[in-house]
Chains A and B, each alone.
Chain A
């Protein structure tokens, strides 16, 4: 995909990576916030019900509630935190993505290495 190169007629440099283009969304009524709140409540209560009713095997249940948490985190990043807002290219998204990548690595590899012994002995 190639983005059309418009001349920098407005004096500013254009944002070269389309993915990093900032975006501001304003509405007359805070629909985004209300939707984010309602969806978060549904996801939270859904996860709680799944656990209380023991609907799945333990491992499957853990995977499902972690997925629900991740969806809720994504919703709140987008709807509450205005992730795409920036004066220029949204470089903070890249930094955050790296931070989350490191975070997942720390957790997964800690569990892996610290339970390794019990796996072989």
Chain B
């Protein structure tokens, strides 16, 4: 079944939804996100099974510090919010404002990744690498996969900024920024569960 919006509705629609080809790109991106949900589910499952298998290595209680993790959480949440404001500005056709909010999103993302790298290197220096125990293997894989996603998102945002600077807001750039925003918000949602399942649960005894 093909469903099309009424032509009258199509002109009122945001720029990124007006062209059927670009719209297909948005649907395709949602399909990717659905598959990414399953990828993270596999890593969460591994962590859930192995978080108690600490061998001679550290326990979750020893390794997690909620202070820095809360800062990371607020950084990523704020970046998700600024990204949302960016889309709001894009819908009003304000290129400069969109670029500013997107740049802010990118910087907050960089700060998040920076803190995570610091956390990881401190952990490795203090407790050893992921070879240490099944807990550390699953912890570094799960959190690292998320961090890798965020790092890729930062590069993507940088590429988008260059494109926006050159071409402004067009159907093509609007669709790209919109899919980026889906990706970025999605990563924040994954982080909510990392924060809850890994860090907070690690403090429940």
Say yes or no for B122: interface residue by CB 8 A criterion.
no
User: Given A41-B74, A104-B41, is A88 in contact with B2 using a C-beta cutoff of 8 Å?
Assistant: yes
Nearest-Cβ distance from residue A4 to partner chain B, whole angstroms: 16
Complex: A110 Cα to B181 Cα, angstroms: 32
The dominant DSSP class at the B interface is helix
Complex: A92 Cα to B32 Cα, angstroms: 10
Nearest-Cβ distance from residue A112 to partner chain B, whole angstroms: 10
Interface residues of A in 4-20 (CB under 8 A from B): 10-16
Chain A residue numbers with a CB within 8 Å of B203 are 51-52
Give the B interface residue count (CB, 8 A): 64
Say yes or no: A30 contacts B14, CB within 8 Å: no
Say yes or no for B170: interface residue by CB 8 A criterion.
no
Closest residue of chain A to B50, judged by CB? A114
Nearest-Cβ distance from residue A86 to partner chain B, whole angstroms: 7
User: Given A88-B5, A99-B37, is A114 in contact with B49 using a C-beta cutoff of 8 Å?
Assistant: yes
Say yes or no for B155: interface residue by CB 8 A criterion.
no
Chain A residue numbers with a CB within 8 Å of B34 are 92, 95-96, 98-99
Complex: A62 Cα to B37 Cα, angstroms: 21
Say yes or no: B5 contacts A12, CB within 8 Å: yes
Residues on A lying within 8 angstroms of B by beta carbon are 10-16, 22, 24, 26, 30, 33-34, 36-37, 40-41, 44, 47-48, 51-52, 58, 61-62, 65-66, 68-69, 72-73, 76-77, 79-82, 85-89, 91-92, 95-96, 98-100, 102-104, 106-107, 110-111, 114-115
Beyond A40-B77, A62-B201, A73-B192, 11 additional contacts (C-beta under 8 Å) are A10-B6, A24-B14, A37-B78, A44-B70, A68-B196, A69-B197, A79-B84, A88-B2, A95-B34, A99-B33, A103-B41
Residues on B lying within 8 angstroms of A by beta carbon are 1-10, 12-14, 17-18, 20, 23, 26-27, 30-31, 33-35, 37-38, 40-42, 44-46, 48-49, 66, 70, 73-74, 77-78, 80-81, 83-85, 87-88, 91, 181-182, 185-186, 188-189, 192-193, 195-197, 200-201, 203-205
